[in-house]
């Protein structure tokens, strides 16, 4: 077998200083993200052509994006950045971001680091390539006047989006077709979480309970709600205690559903759609067979066959409707939740180092808290609710009695026959209480240290007001 020799063809469509071929526009940033932007214009278009490989076998180069370090631009960026901004404003260019970057191109044989790039995003459909072409020389001249040589200005379209994402999903009744596949994005106990700090490890855990901080450490009224999990879930280094320092400190982000759990959720939806499709095919065949069946001379049997056909038609219509709802639900999750940055639900607030033999009682302390994002939680937050599917809902209310413990707790009817409230204590608690798990269900012995920030004066059952 012979293979044709790889050849390189230049771009024949760039007939003006700012025309870019469709191929370059759509593939120039290939590899920097799963949904990379399209190139609008670049200042080195004529002197550095982006060649299109041709032939039966060819390698499409990929790029990765990197920060700008140890270059002349670093020393003057605070000066030139505002000037670039003013230049764009004077030209009536609606920019959404002005960034710096360097791109590494991964070729078939070697990698190459590109020049410093002033990476400008403009609001979609507001800026033409000609506008970018006309503005770029002034930006390059500004950089050169400040000692920055060899830089490139690249333009793309992009609007600023709030990355907090949509509110968490509500818990529905089991008549909703998405009931069984939406749990992992609802605000119930056992919610799967992962932290940005441990993202590279794909480490995951869950939420044990929520509590409301009535007053902060300074005694001021507080409306904050916190989630409780494990230190080993929230922190990479569990030998050093952590406490959020407040505004200005870099937050350690907490996400709902890490990469693995989110993909599993999507797979569960697809499996549900597939199962409904099998049911629809079976029902359709049964209807055809019944309709082809000769009418019985027995009036009762004939009436029963007719009723059966009607019943199966109704069932088939419902199954098809459920498939439509599930497909729409899948598409919404894929578009609104697939970016893990849009699954941020709060930040780590407090996580003491893991310790053993606490207070000489042979207990292991492995606990941490995170402050929840009220915008994400408030619309559907019901408090400490455990969704047990068709069985019941259990609401966990933390009290502060010194006399009782979980061994003496009981279930109390809630607002419906299937809703109960489990009253537990935060202090003299010595039973096994599920805290959180990473890969498997783990029960941790709860003691007086379980929720040290929860007391009569400082905390109450979780609520978002």
pLDDT of 15 = 53
Half-sphere exposure of 31 (CA within 13 A, CB side): 14
- Nearest partner of 263 among 353, 194, 357, 362, judged by Cα: 194
Q: Are 429 and 406 in contact (CB under 8 A)?
A: yes
Q: What are phi and psi of 258, to 5 degrees?
A: -70, -175
Q: Are 393 and 418 in contact (CB under 8 A)?
A: yes
Check residue 410 and give left, alpha or beta (phi > 0: left; psi -120 to 50: alpha).
beta
Which residues lie below 8 Å from residue 210, measured CB to CB, with a gap of 6+? 189, 225, 226, 227, 228, 372, 383, 384, 462
Tokens of 292: 């082809």
Q: Are 222 and 445 in contact (CB under 8 A)?
A: no
- Nearest partner of 17 among 136, 118, 113, judged by Cα: 136
pLDDT of 298 = 92
Q: Report helix angle 72-90 to 129-145, nearest 10.
A: 140
Tokens of 390: 């068709």
pLDDT of 426 = 33
Residue 86's alpha-carbon distances to 81, 82, 302, in angstroms, are 9, 6, 83
pLDDT of 60 = 80
Residue 16's alpha-carbon distances to 13, 19, 41, 48, 313, in angstroms, are 9, 5, 12, 15, 62
Residue 461's alpha-carbon distances to 120, 152, 230, 355, in angstroms, are 47, 56, 20, 27
Judge if pTM exceeds 0.75. no
pLDDT of 392 = 38
pLDDT of 76 = 94
* Cβ count near 59 (within 10 Å): 11
The owner of tokens 């969704």 is 387
Report how far Cα 341 is from the mean position of its chain's Cα atoms.
Answer: 5
pLDDT of 329 = 95
> For residue 103, with 0-12 CB atoms within 10 Å meaning exposed, 13-18 middle and 19 or more buried, which class applies?
buried
pLDDT of 200 = 82
Please list the pLDDT of the chain residue by residue as tens digits (465 residues): 333 333 334 444 445 677 889 989 999 999 888 778 999 999 999 999 888 877 666 678 889 998 899 999 999 999 999 999 999 999 999 999 899 999 999 877 788 999 999 999 999 999 999 999 999 999 999 999 999 999 999 999 987 655 567 899 998 888 999 999 999 999 888 899 999 999 888 888 999 889 888 888 888 898 899 999 999 999 999 999 999 987 667 889 999 999 999 999 999 999 999 999 999 999 999 999 999 999 999 999 999 999 999 999 999 999 999 999 999 999 999 888 988 888 999 999 999 999 987 777 778 889 999 999 988 988 888 777 666 654 434 444 443 333 333 233 332 333 333 333 333 333 333 223 333 333 333 333 232 223 323 322 234 445 555
pLDDT of 58 = 65
pLDDT tens sequence across 230-245? 999 999 999 999 999 8
């Amino acid at each position: 077998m012979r293979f044709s020799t790889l050849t390189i063809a230049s771009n024949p469509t760039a007939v003006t200083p700012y025309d870019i071929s469709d191929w370059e526009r759509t593939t120039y940033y290939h590899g920097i993200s799963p949904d990379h932007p399209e190139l609008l214009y670049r200042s080195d278009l004529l002197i550095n052509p982006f060649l299109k490989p041709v032939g039966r076998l060819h390698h499409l180069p990929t790029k990765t994006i990197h920060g700008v370090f140890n270059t002349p631009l670093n020393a003057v960026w605070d000066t030139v950045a505002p000037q670039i901004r003013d230049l764009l404003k004077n030209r009536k260019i609606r920019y959404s971001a002005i960034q710096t970057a360097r791109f590494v191109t991964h070729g078939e044989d070697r990698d190459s680091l590109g020049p410093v790039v002033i990476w400008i995003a403009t609001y979609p459909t507001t800026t033409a390539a000609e506008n970018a072409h006309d503005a770029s020389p002034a930006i390059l001249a500004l950089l050169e006047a400040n000692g920055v040589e060899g830089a490139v200005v690249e333009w793309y379209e992009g609007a600023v989006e709030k990355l907090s994402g949509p509110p968490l999903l509500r818990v529905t009744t089991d008549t909703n077709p998405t009931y069984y596949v939406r749990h992992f994005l609802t605000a119930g106990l056992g919610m799967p979480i992962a932290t940005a700090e441990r993202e590279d490890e794909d480490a995951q855990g869950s939420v044990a309970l929520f509590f409301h901080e009535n007053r902060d450490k300074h005694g001021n009224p507080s409306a904050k709600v916190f989630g409780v999990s494990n230190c080993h879930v929230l922190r990479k280094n569990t030998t050093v205690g952590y406490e959020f320092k407040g505004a200005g400190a870099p937050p350690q982000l907490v996400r709902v559903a890490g990469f693995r759990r989110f993909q599993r959720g999507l797979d569960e939806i697809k499996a549900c759609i597939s199962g409904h499709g099998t049911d629809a095919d079976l029902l359709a065949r049964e209807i055809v067979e019944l309709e082809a069946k000769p009418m019985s001379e027995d009036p009762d049997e004939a009436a029963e066959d007719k009723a059966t056909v009607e019943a199966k038609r109704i069932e088939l219509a419902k199954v098809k409707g459920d498939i439509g709802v599930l497909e729409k639900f899948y598409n919404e999750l894929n578009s609104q939740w697939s970016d893990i940055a849009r699954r941020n639900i709060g930040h780590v607030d407090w996580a003491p180092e893991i310790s053993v033999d606490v207070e000489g009682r042979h207990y292991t302390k492995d606990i941490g808290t995170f402050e929840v994002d009220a915008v994400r939680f408030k619309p559907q937050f019901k408090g400490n609710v455990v969704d047990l599917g068709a069985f019941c809902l259990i609401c966990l209310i933390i009290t502060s009695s010194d006399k009782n413990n979980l061994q003496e707790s009981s279930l109390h009817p809630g607002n419906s026959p299937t809703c109960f409230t489990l009253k537990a204590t935060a202090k003299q608690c010595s039973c096994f209480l599920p805290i959180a798990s990473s890969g498997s269900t783990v029960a941790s012995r709860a003691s007086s240290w379980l929720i040290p920030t929860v007391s009569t004066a400082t905390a109450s059952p979780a609520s978002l007001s």
